[in-house]
Amino acid sequence: MTHRYLPMTEQDKAQMLETIGIQSIEELFTDIPAEVRFKGELQIPAAMTEPALLRHMRKLSGQNADFDRYASFLGAGIYDHHVPVVINHVISRSEFYTAYTPYQPEISQGELQAIFEFQSYICELTGMAVANASMYDGSTALAEAGALAHGATKRRKLVVSRAVHPEARSILATTAKGLNLDVVEVGYANGVTDLTALQAAVDAETAAVIVQSPNFFGCVENLAAIEPVIHSAGGLLVVSSNPLALGLLEAPGKLGADIVVGDAQPFGIAASLGGPTCGYFAVADKWMRRMPGRIVGQTVDRDGKRGFVLTLQAREQHIRREKATSNICSNQALLALCASVYLSTMGKQGLQDVANLNVQKAHYAARTIGALQGLSLAFSAPFFNEFVVKVGSGADLQTVNAKLLEQGFIGGYDLGRDYPELAGHMLVAVTEQRSKEDIEQFAASLGEVVSA
């Protein structure tokens, strides 16, 4: 049993060829020299019937170690958080999942209001004056923050902590290369940015200091100590933050941040094997007109009725190219809606409760694992829901995680992949999803695997 996925008849094909004035499809490719054109058959499997294809795809998907069958202790940017069922109910409505860029506000009020609510939530969490309609993810948001700092200060040096997510630093480096900027990385001490090294790296040519808090190791940075280092040099402070942690921690805007970015994945966005996610970008009022992307604003119509419009759009498609601050074109409206529904569902107290559960469970796991023979905590700095476990410099964490998987656990992240000096160190994440039994069984299994 087969189906035509592209139901074009021979008559359809003949009519189209006649309309454009050619005799065969081959004529469409006459401009391509024959010697460079592929001859033969592609090395791909033969076509399947629909039932066979469905069985094949289910078999492939069954090889994934998903959160339904395994207790996950893997974080490093994507986390296993509870997704309230109401979120999928709302985002599955065709008004939202088929929505495109709201060019026509008169027919896009629902979409625009959803984005406006997202911006409002982000401003309240971060302590900033203005947030944009969202960005692709937290890493691209951080890179755009570096570009904004360059444009605002006309300086070409960005100082970034090595405790910032390695992938975000990589994207920052790529963006900086295109803008001819210099990126200087400073080290860490006891899991947080080395203040002495930071002070030595910042000078009159520094556009911004870029830090992450909680950082890649899960540790909370001392933003109050970092802020005067860059502001005394006339640069900007960029802070990347897990938004869930802001349910407990002081807002970066209250601590002097000029730009706050991050990833909204913890707010009701499924891990989905690594993405897509939703970046947020918030700034002090002074930098509002330099933000990438777009901003949804609130207004009234001629009858005084509240309405929503695209207020500022800094992308080159909307304004003159020489005036554009970024070529970021799209916001993650559907995933921003996930975050908005999550926050409205949880409420202020609920968000604090979830954040507190992450802290308490992570610290219980750290104490339990740290007490085991052959395992210890690498850092003593305060942390949110991730911490670094020293397994041993000679430990093969790939083998360790493979054995943990056999016992029903998705193990932690091998930090040796990005930090050679941390070979044999595992980044462990504990969210509100993990029960006391999960934590104790994971610790026992990790201890057994390491001591074997």
Tens-digit pLDDT profile for residues 120-176: 999 999 999 999 999 999 999 999 999 999 999 999 999 999 999 999 999 999 999
| Ramachandran sector of residue 79 (left: φ over 0; alpha: ψ -120 to 50; beta: rest) | beta
Q: How much of the chain exceeds pLDDT 70, in percent?
A: 95
Question: Which CATH number do you get for residue 426?
Answer: 3.90.1150.10
Whole-structure pTM value: 0.89
CB count in 10 Å sphere of residue 434 = 22
Does 217 share its domain with 127?
yes
Does 363 share its domain with 424?
yes
Q: How much of the chain exceeds pLDDT 90, in percent?
A: 78
DSSP E strands, 268-380 = 279-283, 294-300, 306-313, 376-377
Does 389 share its domain with 261?
no
Supply 415's token pair.
Answer: 């930090």
Rounded-to-integer distance, Cα 90 and Cα 97, Å = 9
Last residue of a domain, one of 295, 318, 342: 342
Residue 183 lies in a domain: yes
User: Model confidence at 417, in pLDDT bands (50, 70, 90)?
Assistant: very high
Last residue of a domain, one of 307, 342, 377: 342
Last residue of a domain, one of 327, 342, 357: 342
- How confident is the model over 199-217, as a mean pLDDT? 98
Q: Is the pLDDT of residue 91 over 60?
A: yes
Supply 182's token pair.
Answer: 């210099």
Question: Which CATH number do you get for residue 195?
Answer: 3.40.640.10
Does 198 share its domain with 304?
yes
Residue 64 lies in a domain: no
Rounded-to-integer distance, Cα 259 and Cα 193, Å = 18
Q: Tell me the per-residue pLDDT of 387-412, one tens digit each, with 9 for 90 and over.
A: 999 998 778 999 999 999 999 999 99
Q: 3-class DSSP state for residue 311?
A: strand
Q: Tell me the per-residue pLDDT of 165-189, one tens digit each, with 9 for 90 and over.
A: 999 999 999 999 999 999 999 999 9
Residue 326 lies in a domain: yes
Does 180 share its domain with 276?
yes
SS (H, E, C) 378-419: CCCCCECCEEEEECCCCCCHHHHHHHHHHCCEECCEEHHHCC
Residue 40 lies in a domain: no
The more confidently predicted of residues 107 and 196 is: 196
The DSSP string of 103-162 is --GGG-HHHHHHHHHHHHHHHHHHT-SEE-S-BS-HHHHHHHHHHHHHHHH---EEEEET
Q: Taking Cα atoms as reference points, which of 324, 289, 310 lies closest to residue 101?
A: 310
Q: Is the pLDDT of residue 4 over 90?
A: no
Does 109 share its domain with 258?
yes
Residue 30 lies in a domain: no
Q: Tell me the per-residue pLDDT of 296-346, one tens digit each, with 9 for 90 and over.
A: 999 998 999 999 988 877 555 556 666 666 767 667 889 999 999 999 999
Residue 129 lies in a domain: yes
The pLDDT score that the predictor gives to residue 1 is 44
Does 332 share its domain with 359?
no
What is the span of the domain harbouring residue 387?
71-82+348-451
Q: Tell me the per-residue pLDDT of 252-287, one tens digit each, with 9 for 90 and over.
A: 999 999 999 999 999 999 999 888 999 999 999 999
Does 283 share its domain with 366?
no
Q: How many domains does the chain have?
A: 2
Does 252 share its domain with 334?
yes
Query: What one-character DSSP code corresponds to residue 315?
Result: B
Q: Taking Cα atoms as reference points, which of 245, 250, 257 lies closest to residue 283?
A: 257
Q: Which amino acid is at 258?
A: D
Q: Is the pLDDT of residue 9 over 90?
A: no
Residue 206 lies in a domain: yes
Whether the CB-CB separation of 154 and 372 falls below 8 Å is answered with no
Does 89 share its domain with 77?
no
Does 316 share its domain with 411?
no
Rounded-to-integer distance, Cα 402 and Cα 271, Å = 21
Does 295 share its domain with 378?
no
Distance of CA 104 to the CA centre of its chain: 29
Whether the CB-CB separation of 344 and 356 falls below 8 Å is answered with no
Tell me how long the chain is. Answer: 452
